[in-house]
Amino acid sequence: MTTLIVIPTYNEAANLERLAPQILVHPDYSLLVIDDNSPDGTGALADELSRHADGRVRVIHRPGKQGLGTAYVAGFREAIRSDSDFVVQMDADFSHDPADVPRLIAACEDADVAIGSRYVPGGGAENWPLARWLISRGGSLYTQLLLGLPVRDPTSGFKCFRREALARIDLGKIRSTGFGFQVEVNWYCHLQGLRLVEVPIRFVDRRIGQSKMSRQIFFEALWLVWKLRFAVDRRANNTGITAS
């Protein structure tokens, strides 16, 4: 069983140099880097890794910073065309522990999508001030309430998909460029009837580099939930079905 790990990068050279060997130590794992022309040379580093990895590292170079969501869509399209059994998405900054990847894959043997969750028993976040935890937890509850998603951590960016399950998502419908992408993917998985499970993880705030979160991205995610909800209500009204 083979796994392709998809990692978007922008100015993550210091992290990628440490992360790639921890992924490639597993002979059944390969790595796909989507780099947005990082000024710190992340793309060039990824190319160097590719030259010495016997085909187990691939790189998509994009001309500039286009957002997390579009990077993942590009990576997922490539992943669907691959022959991998599983597709994992994760951050490059060690917020997601590469040692947790095998647990996500194992969970996907009985599910379509496994989500690394901070908000199930055994999960949590480290190095977070109280205000950030409250915003994150409140945003998750807000999303669950409005969309009825059966996921406690709908904004988690650490996921494993069965490749054939990922192929069932219409990636062309995804519009989020920022962290709202995570909610959209969960939503379209849910609409497709895919089985989602959550695996507890300890999320560790980045130690190297700058966070990509911004006020614009935060409000984009808040508004996205309402747009998805409005779409549900319109569909229910058109079919005469009562929305959940």
State residue 143's pLDDT score: 80
pLDDT band at 126 (very low <50, low <70, confident <90, very high): confident
Residue 114, pLDDT > 90, answer yes
- Is residue 52 exposed (0-12), middle (13-18) or buried (19+ Cβ within 10 Å)? exposed
State residue 111's pLDDT score: 97
State residue 31's pLDDT score: 98
* Within a domain: 173: yes
State residue 64's pLDDT score: 95
pLDDT band at 232 (very low <50, low <70, confident <90, very high): low
Instruction: Confirm if 165 and 88 have CB atoms less than 8 A apart.
Output: no
CA distances 6 to 91, 211, 240, Å, are 9, 19, 40
For residue range 27-37, list pLDDT tens digits in order: 999 999 999 99
* Within a domain: 43: yes
Question: What is the domain-level CATH number for residue 10?
Answer: 3.90.550.10
Distance, CA of 95 to CA of 136 (rounded, Å): 15
The count of structural domains within the chain is 1
For residue range 191-221, list pLDDT tens digits in order: 899 999 999 999 987 555 454 444 554 556 5
Distance, CA of 233 to CA of 241 (rounded, Å): 9
Residue 239, pLDDT > 50, answer no
pTM confidence score: 0.86
* Within a domain: 244: no
For residue range 154-167, list pLDDT tens digits in order: 989 999 999 999 99
Distance, CA of 102 to CA of 79 (rounded, Å): 18
pLDDT band at 231 (very low <50, low <70, confident <90, very high): low
H helix and E strand count, the chain: 8, 9
* Within a domain: 201: yes
Token pair of 135 as six digits: 């915003």
State residue 166's pLDDT score: 97
Residue 82, pLDDT > 80, answer yes
Segment 83-96 mean pLDDT = 96
Distance, CA of 139 to CA of 156 (rounded, Å): 11
Around Cβ 230, how many Cβ atoms within 10 Å? Answer: 10
Give residue 98's domain range: 3-239
* Within a domain: 144: yes
Residue 230, pLDDT > 90, answer no
Q: Under 8 Å CB-to-CB from 209, ≥6 apart: which residues?
A: 11, 12, 14, 15, 93
